């Protein structure tokens, strides 16, 4: 039994992406120049990869359900 439709999952993905790229969370990974290397580029790439991967996975499952 499927309780959440494909549109609801895509809206949840948009919410997750907005949360991942929100300034408070992004600033956690951004360090001042004197505190060692910044994790910001790695975090942004990983978050982008996660969002794109989840979107591709959701779109694949959306077509199977139709």
pLDDT tens per residue, the chain (66 residues)? 456 788 889 999 999 999 999 999 999 888 776 767 788 999 999 999 999 999 999 988 765 555
Inter-residue contact 48 to 66 (CB < 8 Å): no
Q: What is the rounded (10 degree) CA torsion for 7, 8, 14, 19?
A: 180
Q: What is the pTM of this model?
A: 0.78
Residue 51 makes CB contacts below 8 A (sequence gap 6+) with 13, 16, 17, 20
Residue 65 makes CB contacts below 8 A (sequence gap 6+) with 2, 6
């Amino acid at each position: 039994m499927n309780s959440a439709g494909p549109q609801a999952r895509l809206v949840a993905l948009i919410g997750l992406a907005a949360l991942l790229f929100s300034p408070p969370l992004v600033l956690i990974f951004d360090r001042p120049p004197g505190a060692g290397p910044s994790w910001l580029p790695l975090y942004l790439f990983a978050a982008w990869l996660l969002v794109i991967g989840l979107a591709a996975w959701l779109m694949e499952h959306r077509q199977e359900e139709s």
